[in-house]
Structure 1
């Protein structure tokens, strides 16, 4: 295989087109700088090498039409250095697609697959989907799911649809996302919501952890009991009203009922019991989605969890 040494780019100047207005600068740069690792993007933002209208900005800055962006010289991977995604995974993801039209694709993401490359991973769902749909040049994730969480994941095929869905996600009652979780212990039916601010921390190892902290961002999750397994476990429905990182996982632990199989926020003994039953996964699954399409129609989808989940729940109920 021929290897290429990427040459540094020159300073670039970009003017933000109206269709990118409202997008965060970090997400914008990830689409513009193909092949650039996330760590590089956040470093050049943090050090002020990226300027918007000649000033420094934070990664969460939302672009406005007409903004002038200065990008420093960068050494990026050549386009032909992209790692091809294994055929077996491509087939698995193709089979997982539950809905597709000209502007949107929704799949039932398997547990254990990251939504995008980075942090030592050469590819994720979005890179695989770009390989599966090479003609869709504007393919972007609408939202994210944790690597070990399974379920409904939206991918926009057009910028206009991405913008429409981002607006719907930000507006109250715009998108209805519901998850199933298997948690430790007897969840009291009267415990219908957890409101606790969440703060992100990055450990020395680079691992991202989230904790309940008064200085964090407001976070609200609604909960409903679906099924009980004595006092050992409860199957619950969780509806995140806000969209914070690891929100359901941290709120479940805050309620005293950590999610099974959660290596970051879970209970080792509970997780081990589930593993002994064959449940080697995180028991969090995005099973229901209601979204307003740009044409005014309401799209409603449901996704079944995998066989590992089903067999474990069957054994618990036996």
Structure 2
């Protein structure tokens, strides 16, 4: 068995479900695609996308010595229907990936174990990335044959569906590239049709400024009232376009128990989340990706959901926050009270 096949076996034995290799320069159209995205200001407040365009658009510039990019996928497939909570307006919808431990830590440790094995075998150098550097993982994963970017711009796989994380190992080792993934969306528009905020100007294009994942996680300050109404009870991320994809009939079960949803995060009552102060927020979401947005933005999102709930019993909960010291919280509380 050659080095690449041994590496594949090692990656699968560590818990990854899919493996592929591409060259760092495998997607030459990336710089132009990224340039257009930023020029149209579809990145919103995510200044880090524009600030590091040179590296993000050209993976070979990120580390010129790299000869190969190993792309790996790790499933986090939910065991429950993530759309079911949307029918319960007094409950909070939290994106599946954030219902337990932070995937960054889990995937990165797994990547490092695979990477160390490669270093020991090939005497090469490596760098590992999990959403923490200017790396466009999805185009690279398609180039490495893991799947294709669907009309919702997320990666899809015939074998894994859409519920999986991506990790990258850049290496100086020369590994034979795999064939690029082939687009298999056909005429289906399920992901585009279900989007609550019309965040897809065209198939295969996303305007992050209208995406609920962006609005609840990245957007600072108040959200426009038009979009608040469309957010429903989604308070951290949004799974609609992923959940709607027919390819999920092939989704595989997650092997990592730390991705299994915590009971208190599947459909938590909005009234319980709105009253969290900073200390309680940090304690509840210790080790969770939710922690990084902070209490103020989180409670802002909860108040938007309360305003959309139509549940008059939650009016007092919102009213208690109309004088909150965080401007985005007090603004959201006043809006929720007025709505109710």
Determine if the TM-score, normalized by the shorter chain, exceeds 0.5.
no
Q: Which has the higher contact order (CA 8 A, sep 6+)?
A: 2
Q: TM-score, normalised by structure 1?
A: 0.29
- Between Structure 1 and Structure 2, the one with more strand by share is 1
Q: TM-score, normalised by structure 2?
A: 0.27
- Between Structure 1 and Structure 2, the one with more helix by share is 2
